[in-house]
């Protein structure tokens, strides 16, 4: 499931337990999500899903729902279809 | 490391950091470009091989100040990005006046000199060479930015001290590919330029310097012989047929590999052999085969015998007085490499690629494993020194847990009887098998057919498989039953060298005994007929518990009362039967 895979990447990047990545995870409720780790997160998501976020999106991926939405647009339908 | 996802690198690096003990190897990262992600990636590359490294990033574009701050570190890496010497130099250089460019170069040279001076006591300094390749790939001429880089590189090289390594960053860029190496999305906003793939490759490229600085480099390159140093199997094909000459494609490839190995040896890498072969045969090739590039004097040690390779590698390490983690072992057989990596996980195992044309490249890449920061006179004479040392002391050969390994293989031996035996393959085995062959009687397909149809013969073949796959029909026995049916004689017993060393011969023999007993046979006669190739089985029947009747040089005879046969009690090989 895409949401789980995203959660997984986020947990590994921030070094927190999976349960800490809630449905509304954002820099506001995850202490480790600072500007440097935001870059790490973007790069890790790209590496994981083999996608490339458009230039203007990179700085806007600042919540779990936004990341999921953005990845769904980038991933081929078959891969992103799971909910 | 390219196969490992960045998120995995981050989490595994965190785990390795938590479990680390002992002294921390402190690395400073100085840069005028944002390469913070390199810290985790490089730490992981080093920690995963036991070097507890910690990378500290300097302040952005603050080389001189940073160099004072980091002067007591164990290592420093300097990422001095020409595009960022001043903001946007990569686009401005072409329109700048020569005098302005020269002034700029002068300023950088001064800062470089100060930085190097401040870092003079850091034991290992990696300084990236200057390169404009990312920005000048489409320019047929050398652009002004690259000219500036060339000037700075010349200064850098002249300032080079023994503990400096200039990292040719173009090699890393080429490996990743220019398009994949740069990520311009963050270049304007946060001065990040390099992609994660680039940083992964960069970390792997420079890691050998850190391993060398901390005594972790490999020392001995251990080589199998058949299909590793030459094409073909010496014991089967014979000295005249093995290939490492210019007469065939395969021969040229093995020859090329031998030249690369010889080059390694000249640079201080110790070479050794570990091969299942007759010692005398290999020595003969080493001393007089006209196509050999490597000779006996190029080798520090040889383990040419019929013991398992883990035992031999352990003995080699003890004999040369190096750790097992100093060994790199090259072999063509997945079985042998599997045995070694199971028993000795510290040894780096390399398999000869199936696509032989890739073999020289694989060997060349091993240079990384043997990287040394400097070559002393002693290094260059290492082979001689070790050969002397070896003459002084003799190491005992140790037996490891071969049985555990064999158990893990999940071996299955299928015995096919009489009509189920494939005629053509059976005949071929009698013609081709030299080493594990008790009587070396050669038969044609016609001969085989006659014996299969004759009720006085029991013919059995085996095919062997393990969890890695099948080996095909690789063993054959021909038993003749004497008139009256009370006694039988082993006419032929052979196995292909591909399956030797797995105790298969023992369960095969058990199966033969069982079969004869079921036919009411009480006694078995067996013999070993000596040839130039089959020394390894000279006492095969003795080790199985048969009683020797006569032992002459050319012929040993044995006898067994079948009801006395105790069997091998091997429970880790599954035996099935196939009756045609």
Spell out the domains of chain B, with CATH numbers in brackets.
Answer: 6-213 (3.40.50.1110), 220-400 (3.40.50.1000), 409-579 (3.40.630.30)
pLDDT value of residue B480: 96
Residue B395 predicted with pLDDT over 50: no
Q: Which domain CATH number covers A61?
A: 1.10.1200.10
In 3D space, the residue among B123, B130, B128, B13 whose CA is nearest the CA of residue B70 turns out to be: B123
Residue of B nearest to A16 (CA): B11
Residue B394 predicted with pLDDT over 50: no
Percent pLDDT > 70 in chain B is 95
CA contacts within 13 A on the Cβ side of B505? 18
pLDDT value of residue B504: 93
Q: Cβ of B490: how many Cβ atoms within 10 Å?
A: 22
pLDDT value of residue B372: 79
B7/A46 CB distance under 8 A:
no
Is some CB atom of chain B closer than 8 A to the CB atom of A81?
no
Residue of A nearest to B10 (CA): A13
Q: Which of A4, A13, A41, A43 is the best residue to mutate to test the B interface, defined by the most B CB atoms within 10 Å of its own CB?
A: A43
What is the distance between the alpha carbons of residues B264 and B242, in angstroms, rounded to a whole number?
23
Contacts of A12 in chain B (CB under 8 A): 7-8, 10-11
Residue A33 predicted with pLDDT over 90: yes
- Chain position carrying tokens 């200039």: B166
The one-character DSSP state at B487 is E
Residue A3 predicted with pLDDT over 80: yes
A39/B11 CB distance under 8 A:
no
Domain membership flag for residue A83: no
pLDDT value of residue B390: 53
Is some CB atom of chain A closer than 8 A to the CB atom of B60?
no
Residue A83 predicted with pLDDT over 90: no
- The strand pairing partners of B417, in sequence order, are B460, B579
Residue of B nearest to A48 (CA): B5
pLDDT, greater one: B454 or B379 = B454
Q: Cβ of A9: how many Cβ atoms within 10 Å?
A: 24
Q: Cβ of B379: how many Cβ atoms within 10 Å?
A: 15
Residue of A nearest to B199 (CA): A43
Evaluate whether B59 touches B65 at the Cβ level (below 8 Å).
Answer: yes
Average pLDDT for B293-322: 92
**Is the CA virtual torsion A62, A64, A66, A67 positive or negative?**
positive
pLDDT value of residue B6: 95
Residue B427 predicted with pLDDT over 60: yes
Is some CB atom of chain B closer than 8 A to the CB atom of A63?
no
The one-character DSSP state at B185 is G
* Chain segment B68-107, per-residue pLDDT in tens: 999 999 999 999 999 999 999 999 999 999 999 999 999 9
* Chain segment B121-157, per-residue pLDDT in tens: 898 999 999 999 999 988 899 999 999 999 999 999 9
Distance from CA of A39 to the nearest CA of B (A): 9
Contacts of B196 in chain A (CB under 8 A): 43, 46-47
Distance from CA of A4 to the nearest CA of B (A): 14
Average pLDDT for B19-43: 93
pLDDT value of residue B393: 39
Average pLDDT for B252-270: 94
* Total residue count of chain A as it appears in this document: 83
- Cα-based distances in Å from B286 to B230, B244, B266, B495: 11, 12, 18, 27
Is some CB atom of chain A closer than 8 A to the CB atom of B179?
no
pLDDT value of residue B79: 96
Alpha helices for B344-475 (secondary structure H): 359-365, 377-380, 382-392, 402-409, 423-432, 445-453
pLDDT value of residue B387: 63
Is some CB atom of chain A closer than 8 A to the CB atom of B188?
no
Residue B400 predicted with pLDDT over 50: no
Contacts of A8 in chain B (CB under 8 A): 7
Q: Which of B3, B8, B10 is the best residue to mutate to test the A interface, defined by the most A CB atoms within 10 Å of its own CB?
A: B10
Evaluate whether B165 touches B125 at the Cβ level (below 8 Å).
Answer: yes
Point out the residue among B14, B189, B192 whose CB comes nearest to the CB of A15: B14
Average pLDDT for B353-376: 89
The one-character DSSP state at B397 is P
What is the distance between the alpha carbons of residues A64 and A23, in angstroms, rounded to a whole number?
6
Domain membership flag for residue A53: yes
Domain membership flag for residue A40: yes
pLDDT value of residue B408: 80
Percent pLDDT > 90 in chain B is 71
pLDDT value of residue B431: 82
- Chain position carrying tokens 């920690």: B47
Strands lying side by side in the sheet with B164-167: B53-60, B25-31, B75-79, B124-128, B164-167
Residue B14, phi then psi, degrees to nearest 5: -65, -40
pLDDT value of residue B401: 67
B189/A44 CB distance under 8 A:
no
Is some CB atom of chain B closer than 8 A to the CB atom of A76?
no
* Chain segment A43-64, per-residue pLDDT in tens: 999 999 999 999 888 889 999 9
pLDDT value of residue B377: 55
pTM over 0.90: no
What is the distance between the alpha carbons of residues B428 and B475, in angstroms, rounded to a whole number?
11
Is some CB atom of chain B closer than 8 A to the CB atom of A1?
no
pLDDT value of residue B376: 55
Distance from CA of B78 to the nearest CA of A (A): 20
pLDDT value of residue B250: 95
Encoded tokens for B382: 């290492």
Q: How many domains does chain A have?
A: 1
Q: Give residue A55's domain range.
A: 2-78
pLDDT value of residue B194: 94
Confidence bin at B446 (pLDDT 50/70/90): confident
Contacts of A47 in chain B (CB under 8 A): 5-7, 196
Point out the residue among B11, B185, B196 whose CB comes nearest to the CB of A15: B11
* Chain segment B551-564, per-residue pLDDT in tens: 888 999 999 999 99
- The strand pairing partners of B339, in sequence order, are none
pLDDT value of residue B92: 94
């Amino acid at each position: 499931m895409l949401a789980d895979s995203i959660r997984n990447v986020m947990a590994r990047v921030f070094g927190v337990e999976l349960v800490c990545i809630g449905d509304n995870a954002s820099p506001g409720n995850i202490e480790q999500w600072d500007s440097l780790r935001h870059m790490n997160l973007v790069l890790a998501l790209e590496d994981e899903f083999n996608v490339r976020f458009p230039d203007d999106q990179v700085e806007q991926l600042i919540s779990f729902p936004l990341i999921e939405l953005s990845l769904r647009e980038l991933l081929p339908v078959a891969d992103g279809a799971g909910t | 490391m390219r196969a490992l996802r960045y998120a995995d690198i981050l989490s595994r690096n965190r785990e390795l950091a938590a479990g680390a003990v002992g002294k921390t190897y402190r690395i400073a990262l100085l840069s005028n470009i944002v390469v913070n992600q390199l810290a985790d990636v490089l730490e992981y590359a080093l920690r995963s091989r036991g070097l507890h490294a910690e990378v500290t990033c300097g302040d952005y574009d603050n080389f001189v100040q940073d160099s004072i701050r980091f002067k007591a570190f164990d290592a420093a890496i300097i990422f001095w990005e020409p595009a960022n010497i001043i903001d946007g130099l990569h686009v401005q250089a072409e329109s700048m006046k020569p005098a302005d460019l020269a002034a700029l170069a002068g300023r950088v040279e001064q800062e470089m000199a100060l930085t190097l001076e401040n870092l003079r006591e850091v034991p290992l300094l990696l300084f990236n060479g200057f390169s404009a390749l990312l920005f000048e790939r489409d320019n047929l001429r050398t652009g002004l930015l690259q000219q500036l880089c060339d000037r700075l590189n010349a200064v850098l090289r002249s300032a080079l001290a023994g503990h400096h390594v200039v990292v040719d960053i173009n090699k890393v860029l080429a490996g990743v590919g220019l398009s994949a190496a740069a990520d311009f999305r963050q270049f304007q906003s946060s001065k990040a330029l390099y992609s994660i793939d680039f940083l992964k490759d960069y970390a792997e490229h420079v890691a050998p310097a850190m391993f060398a600085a901390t005594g972790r480099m490999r020392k001995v390159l251990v080589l199998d012989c058949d299909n590793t140093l030459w094409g073909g199997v010496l014991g089967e094909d014979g000295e005249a047929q093995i290939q490492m000459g210019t007469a065939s494609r395969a021969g040229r490839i093995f020859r090329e590999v031998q030249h690369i190995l010889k080059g390694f040896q000249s640079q201080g890498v110790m070479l050794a052999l570990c091969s299942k072969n007759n010692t005398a045969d290999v020595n003969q090739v080493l001393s007089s085969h006209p196509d050999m590039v490597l000779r006996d004097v190029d080798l520090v040690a040889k383990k040419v015998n019929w013991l398992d390779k883990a035992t031999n590698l352990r003995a080699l390490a003890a004999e040369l007085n190096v750790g097992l983690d100093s060994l790199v072992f090259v072999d063509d057989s997945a079985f042998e490499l599997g045995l070694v990596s199971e028993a000795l996980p510290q040894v780096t195992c390399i398999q000869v690629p199936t696509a032989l044309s890739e073999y020289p490249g694989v060997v060349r890449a091993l240079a990384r494993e043997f990287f040394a920061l400097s070559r002393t006179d002693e290094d260059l004479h290492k082979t001689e020194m070790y050969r002397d040392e070896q003459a002084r002391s003799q190491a005992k050969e140790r037996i490891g847990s071969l049985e555990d390994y064999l158990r893990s293989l999940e071996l299955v031996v299928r015995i096919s009887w009489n009509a189920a035996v494939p005629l053509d393959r059976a005949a071929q085995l009698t013609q081709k098998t030299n080493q594990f062959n008790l009587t070396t009687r050669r038969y044609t397909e016609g001969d085989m057919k006659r014996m299969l149809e004759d009720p006085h013969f029991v013919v059995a073949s085996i095919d062997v498989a393990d969890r890695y796959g099948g080996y095909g029909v690789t063993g054959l026995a021909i038993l003749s039953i004497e008139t009256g049916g009370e006694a039988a004689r082993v006419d032929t017993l052979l196995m292909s060298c591909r399956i030797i060393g797995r105790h298969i011969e023992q369960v095969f023999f058990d199966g033969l005994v069982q079969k004869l007993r079921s036919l009411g046979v009480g006694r078995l006669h067996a013999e070993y007929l000596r040839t130039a190739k089959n020394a390894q089985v000279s006492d095969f029947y003795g080790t199985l518990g048969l009683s020797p009747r006569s032992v002459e040089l050319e012929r040993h005879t044995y006898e067994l009362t079948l009801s006395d046969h105790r069997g091998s009690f091997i429970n880790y090989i599954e035996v099935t039967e196939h009756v045609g």
